């Protein structure tokens, strides 16, 4: 499916204001409510819209410390990679996991309360993951810019 100008407007708007009513969205993008609703349904069914979520304030939920962890594994076989990835899904503090090209095999984004909390996660969860040979952690001092909106 090819996105047209209206589809792109819908997606840009919903990325920033996911709770808009269909009436408000249709007004913003210049469509009737029924046409707008059909477009959104199509974008959902085609997989362009994956989910609707609430973005929480990390400080309010006591997860203000962000740590980026580079992980090197003991090997690169499918079995080693699959066992690591499967086990990692059970660590709730890990927000993102990326298989990397370069010096690290994986890059994780971890949300914790503070350095003591990260020490606990590091010791009890991350270091215990199968295949982990080495870890390097970097603490974010300040979030300068953050968005969930993809450029369209």
Q: Where are the domains of the chain?
A: 5-45, 65-139
Average pLDDT over residues 84-104: 97
Per residue in 12-25, is it b (16+ CB within 10 Å) or e — as a string?
A: bebeeeeeeeeeeb
What value does the mean pLDDT take over residues 112-138? 97
Tell whether the model's pLDDT for residue 1 goes beyond 90. no
Is 147 strand, coil or helix?
A: coil
Query: pLDDT tens for residues 29-70?
Result: 999 999 999 999 999 999 999 999 999 999 999 999 999 999
The residue ranges of DSSP E strands in the chain, in sequence order, are 65-73, 94-99, 106-112, 132-139
Q: Rounded CA gap, 116 and 33, in Å?
A: 51
CATH number of 65-139: 3.30.70.920
**What does the alpha-carbon distance between residue 127 and residue 22 come to, in Å, rounded to a whole number?**
47
Using alpha carbons, list the distances in angstroms from residue 134 to 18, 22, 109.
Answer: 40, 49, 16
Residues in the chain: 152
42: how many CB neighbours lie within 10 A of its CB? 14
Domain 5-45 in CATH 3.40.50.300: no
In the predicted model, what is the mean pLDDT of residues 93-99? 98
């Amino acid at each position: 499916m090819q996105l047209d100008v209206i589809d792109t407007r819908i997606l840009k708007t919903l990325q920033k204001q996911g709770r808009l009513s269909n009436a408000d969205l249709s007004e913003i993008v210049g469509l009737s409510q029924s046409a707008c609703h059909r477009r959104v349904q199509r974008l959902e069914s085609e997989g362009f819209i994956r989910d609707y979520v609430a973005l929480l304030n990390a400080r309010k939920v006591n997860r203000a410390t962000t740590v980026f962890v580079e992980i090197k594994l003991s090997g690169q076989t499918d079995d080693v990679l699959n066992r690591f990835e499967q086990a990692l899904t059970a660590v709730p503090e890990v927000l993102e996991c990326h298989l990397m090209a370069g010096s690290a095999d994986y890059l994780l984004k971890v949300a914790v309360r503070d350095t003591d909390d990260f020490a606990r996660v590091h010791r009890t969860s991350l270091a215990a993951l199968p295949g982990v040979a080495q870890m390097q952690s970097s603490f974010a001092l300040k979030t300068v810019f953050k968005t969930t909106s993809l450029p369209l």
